[in-house]
Chains A and B, each alone.
Chain A
């Protein structure tokens, strides 16, 4: 046997010794990527169809409302009422976005890759949740900004009128945030249960749609307490109940104000508590779900 003649050349491979980005950057990257995914940015045109369809519809509605107000002077809907009137589109948007955010990762089995980074278990679902909340809030908030700009430029009272509009707008944006938090936490929890986007979308819609008629039925029961608590049965009426309690006349205008008070009676704080519990419960379950998924 001859002596081995091969030579190992040093061609200059080096380890990376520079600074490494930490947890915050991982979280930020996940959040930004999630937000871009929600609107299909950086993806094919097919992925943009459904999110931008919803965005287009709400923008057209807001533009129409603004036009009517500036031309005829009639307030069709206030800022806070805008979210209520768009509830079906919010449900659809949640059904589009939530499966994109979590179901794809489950299906393609890339979670071990994420969790091999310096990323605590809870950061992944929280970043996704935050991205979805932001997306929903933008969906509801941006059209309100359109309405505000329309009203601000056509107001008759100068800066005073603009200031009044702004004071109306801010609670509307907060209310949109409440919608976003509640719908995002429920939608994401349902979507995280299955890797199939089709089933996730169906499940989310089933949860939201099924609960609405329950409210309708409970609210005609003979017991008044039951009527006033009926809104608790569905996420959208739960949010509306909190809105009626906290915003009052901003949400309900004119004659409806009397009727609305009997809608939730004196149970306003119960509605607020239920909303907090619902969101906290959903987030807890979401975190528990990812603790289990990650160990698989």
Chain B
């Protein structure tokens, strides 16, 4: 484990605010357990809990808070200078931070969604959701990490993507689903474990290729942006 990733992990967990991440997964598990114990038909509670809460809210919101936190918080505080002035290639800064962000997001999301998936259908669905959520965590983290280098307001721009692009437009204009990580995750999970609970219009090859493209493309963009990064004061 490199020093950069250790510093990043400590920056994330060293403060009380990381406790903010816990209510989201806990609610997911609670709802799944409650629905199961009351004997509701999984076909009825599966989609709102697994997709509506798990893949559409918990995954992007956790990825947003963590993904913009690993680098954006340091840029905000101005402490990013300490890392930038060390004789490190830029990719050795970006990749460990991306790894930490992906890891934290994946663990936070995968555990509750595995429980929910097992309760809703089968162990196979649970594992499929875990794999898909991990891939989604990678793509989201790469996107939000790159955003925190491209703009000074990464969280708001990330919210525009999650709320307006994926949430609002995804419901009305089906064409935007081709550029929506959420739909890729659903498509991949459905392919790994066909259960009838997950529904999407994006085909599996498109989802796989686009997830890879999102992850690699935004990582390369982040490395490139960090190469010519200029330190500025807080925006007015």
219-236 of chain B: CB within 8 A of chain A: 235-236
Interface string of A194-226 (1 = CB under 8 A from B): 101111011101100110111011001110000
Q: How far is the CA of A196 from the CA of B15 in the complex (A)?
A: 13
Chain A residues with CB below 8 A from B152, complex form: 46
Q: Please tell me if the beta carbons of B48 and A198 are within 8 angstroms of each other in the complex.
A: no
76-97 of chain B: CB within 8 A of chain A: 76
A50 within 8 A of B: yes
B23 within 8 A of A: yes
Interface residues on B, range: 35 or more
Main secondary structure of the interface of A (DSSP, over half): helix
Q: Please tell me if the beta carbons of A44 and B236 are within 8 angstroms of each other in the complex.
A: yes
Interface string of A35-71 (1 = CB under 8 A from B): 0000000011011001001000100000000000000
Q: Please tell me if the beta carbons of A205 and B159 are within 8 angstroms of each other in the complex.
A: yes
Q: Which of A47, A89, A202, A221 contacts B61 (CB 8 A)?
A: A202
Given A46-B235, A47-B235, A199-B65, do A92 and B38 touch, yes or no (CB 8 Å)?
no
B52 within 8 A of A: yes
Q: Would you give the shortest CB distance from A205 to chain B, in whole angstroms?
A: 6
- Cβ-closest chain A residue relative to B31: A217
Given A213-B49, A216-B48, do A50 and B38 touch, yes or no (CB 8 Å)?
no
Indicate the member of A202, A203, A206 with the most B CB atoms within 10 Å.
A202
Main secondary structure of the interface of B (DSSP, over half): helix
Q: Would you give the shortest CB distance from B161 to chain A, in whole angstroms?
A: 11
Interface residues on A, range: 20 to 34
Chain B residues with CB below 8 A from A202, complex form: 61, 64-65, 68, 155, 159
Q: How far is the CA of A90 from the CA of B224 in the complex (A)?
A: 35
Chain B residues with CB below 8 A from A50, complex form: 153, 156, 160
A96 within 8 A of B: yes
Chain B residues with CB below 8 A from A91, complex form: 163
Q: Please tell me if the beta carbons of B49 and A221 are within 8 angstroms of each other in the complex.
A: no
User: 10 closest pairs, A vs B, by CB?
Assistant: A213-B53, A216-B48, A213-B52, A198-B155, A202-B65, A209-B57, A44-B236, A201-B155, A220-B44, A217-B31
Chain A residues within CB distance 8 Å of chain B: 43-44, 46-47, 50, 53, 57, 88-89, 91-92, 95-96, 194, 196-199, 201-203, 205-206, 209-210, 212-214, 216-217, 220-222
In the complex, 24 of the A-B residue pairs with CB atoms within 8 angstroms, ordered by the A residue number, are A44-B236, A46-B235, A46-B236, A53-B160, A92-B159, A92-B160, A96-B156, A199-B17, A199-B65, A201-B155, A202-B65, A205-B61, A206-B20, A206-B23, A210-B24, A210-B27, A210-B58, A210-B61, A213-B49, A214-B31, A217-B35, A217-B48, A217-B53, A220-B40
Q: Can you add 17 more A-B contacts, CB < 8 Å, to A202-B61, A216-B52?
A: A46-B235, A47-B236, A50-B160, A88-B168, A92-B164, A95-B159, A197-B155, A198-B155, A202-B159, A203-B20, A205-B159, A209-B61, A210-B57, A212-B57, A213-B53, A217-B53, A222-B40
